[in-house]
Structure 1
Amino acid sequence: VKKIPLRHSILMLAGVIVLSWITVSPAATFKDALGRTVTLKTPPKRIVSMAPSLTEILYYLGLEDRIAGVTQFSYYPPEAAQKPNVGSYINLNAERIVSLNPDLAIGTKDGNKPTTVRLLEQAGIPVYIVNPRNIEDVISTIYAIGELCGVGKRAKELSTRLGTRVKRICARTMSLKRPLVFLQINIKPIMTVNKNTFHHDVIRLAGGDNMARDEPITYPRISIEEVMRKGPDVIIISSMERGGSFERARKDWMKWSSIPAVKERRVHLINSDLLDRPSPRIVKGLETMARLIHPEVEWGR
């Protein structure tokens, strides 16, 4: 039997070790907001976003080329609307999602049905669930999704910038008197928000006092008489309705001159997308809200 020189044996052994390093890379594991373990063999290349806010986060992180599908109302940025549609975030089309051959789906606890999540997992698709409850959570979620998708460094930089903007607002409003704010989120019937909402967190951080914070219902109906009785200093209308009806809602309040906000002409409109979606734009919503609640502050650009 011909012997293999020792030098050649060492080289062959080294080659086997290197090959094993290349072919047997350890999978990465992540804990989602529900405490579930999500395992990814490699950074995902085909991602299905199961909520409009998640689509915005993926674009913010520069991952638009990896997005394989989005939900209805994923219209920001505008090019997101051109991505394959997988239904609404409440009524997802699981068959459509599977047909897109994703290697990751990202969903939300509020909205996405657990039955759909289970169907996707049974089809072998990893599903990562998020559950942000306030602005701080939104920023943490952006970083977590970046880590999940293999762009942790970029996500850390971007989330840090958002956090800096939030801290700047808080620093400017912390010592100021807190005006009573009525936030109207629906025109007919008139509806508002209690303390268990993103909207409340925005009002609080912007230096305002939410008029309906202690209401027992998350999104209560409020009568004009109740608003007149409580007398808010500022009225802000955030509605998905646009155009004439949106402006008419503001003009309707101007009839009630006994309300301090009306008397001081402090009835404002705000883009509901800046408040309703737990996405990077909620920080812009906070900055806009702070300017409306505290116009006396020199905010700069």
Structure 2
Amino acid sequence: MPRKDEEIMMRTDRGIFMLATVFGVLMAPAASAQSAAGARIVLEDALGRTVALPGPARRIVSLTPSATEILFAVGAGDSVVGVTSYCNFPAETASKTKVGGFSGKTVSAESIVALKPDLVVISGGMHVKILGLLEAVGIRCYAVEPLGIEDVCRDILAIGKLAGQDARAAAVVADMKGRIGKVAAAVRNSPRPSVFWELWDDPLMTAGGATFISEAIAEAGGVNIFAELKEEWPMVSLEQLLTRKPDWIMSGNDHGDRLNLAAVRGRPLWASMPAVSAGRIATVEADAINRGGPRLADAVEAIARILHPDSFR
């Protein structure tokens, strides 16, 4: 007998195919009109899949906040018909239909199908199951899963191309790279303080070297003390942290009252660390640093101003 979650998935599968029957005829004219709108677009996504569109997508659902930010940044906001409840930037996302949360378990496939999209942008790590369901009813999906800043730039260019906004996407990437390059040049000859990035406090988690957070710290003139770890978001021990003696402790500002000087000083043994004893604890805009989108440049600038204030006066 199937487990309850399997029964739910079976019912979801059947529901999607029923919806596909209803909406299939309605979706076909849109595809035909799209073919006439531009040349065929063929790209490889983060999962190594070949994604082909007959022309620029005109009805797009985004299942990742980073992709949503990219779509609006490249001028394709009017083509976005659905987003997740976590897609909160820019303000225009508030008027878009919500199709669920970020994880695959909270996304409503039926809601996506009902929007008749010609493209759904997904997370390669979070949405594999829903990818199969959507492809089964003929909905094209493009997966993103950026690790470094170059991956983010690649995603911006790819999403721009899929949305028919190649030139705007290239301009966004040029601006982003230019701003990050100016920061790197400003701090090039400065000492590089060591940084512990606190992703979560219990259990203690950080950013490994293969992440755009670690790369942002480096571009801002710092050194991630766990940059050698290959896991993206590893758990680390207090003993490891005490041994590495970071100059700074940093995080996104979504930690609430858990990451401030008083709270950290109250943690057993933390007061002995150089960062804590000197009061060097800081946060930056969480969505800017946690999302692989154009606002990563904002995060690099913010980190650099914290680590090297004299270079930006």
**TM-score bucket (shorter structure):** 0.7 to 0.9
1:56 and 1:77 in contact (8 A); partners too: yes
Q: What is the aligned partner in structure 2 of residue 122 from structure 1?
A: 136
Superposition pairs of residues 87-166 of structure 1, within 5 angstroms: 87-91=100-104, 92-113=107-128, 115-166=129-180
Q: CA deviation at 1:284?
A: 0.6
Deviation at 1:100, TM superposition (A): 0.6
- What one-letter code is carried by the residue in structure 2 that aligns with 1:108? S
2-structure distance, mates of 1:34, 1:216: 19
CA contact under 8 A between 1:186 and 1:238: conserved in structure 2? no
Query: Cα deviation per residue 1:90-118 (whole Å; 9 max; x = unaligned)?
Result: 222222111110111111212112x3112
Identity %: 35
The structural deviation recorded for 1:26 is 5.2
CA distances 1:158-202 after superposition (whole Å, capped 9, x unpaired): 211111011111222233221111111223333222212221111
Distance 1:40 1:214 in 2: 40
Aligned twin of 2:248: 234
**Distance in 2 separating the partners of 1:189 and 1:131:** 24
- 1:263, distance to aligned residue in structure 2 (A): 3.2
- Provide structure 1 residue ranges, at least 5 long, that are not aligned to the other structure: 1-21
Structure 1 counterpart SS, 2:272: coil
State the secondary structure of the residue aligned to 1:157.
helix
Q: Supply the distance in 2 between the matched residues of 1:211 and 1:174 (Cα, whole angstroms).
A: 19
| Change beyond 3 A, Cα 1:116–1:264 | same
Secondary structure at the counterpart of residue 43 of structure 2: strand
Out of 76, 93, 96, the position equivalent to 1:63 is 76
Note closer, same or farther for the CA distance 1:257–1:148 as it changes in structure 2 (3 Å cut).
Answer: same
Which blocks of at least 5 consecutive residues in structure 2 are unaligned?
Answer: 1-34
Residues 46, 68 of structure 1: 8 Å contact kept:
yes
CA contact (8 A) 2:149 2:212 kept: yes
Are 2:64 and 1:34 aligned?
no
1:40-61 Cα deviation digits (max 9, x unpaired): 2232111000111111111111
Report the equivalent of 1:179. Answer: 193
Letter of the structure 2 residue corresponding to residue 259 of structure 1 = M
CA contact (8 A) 2:38 2:56 kept: no
Distance (whole Å) between structure 2 residues aligned to residue 152 and residue 29 of structure 1: 14
Match of 1:219 in 2: 233
Q: Is the 8 A contact 1:239 1:246 kept in 2?
A: no
Q: Which amino acid aligns with 2:121?
A: I
Return the alpha-carbon distance in structure 1 between the equivalents of residues 242 and 48 of structure 2.
45
How many aligned positions are there? Answer: 274
- Partners of 2:123 and 2:152 lie apart in 1 by 12
Query: Is the CA contact (8 Å cut-off) linking 2:197 and 2:251 kept in structure 1?
Result: yes
For the Cα contact (< 8 Å) 1:236–1:267, is it kept in 2?
yes
Distance in 2, matches of 1:219 and 1:144, equals: 26
1:144 to partner: Cα distance: 1.5
TM-score (norm 1): 0.83
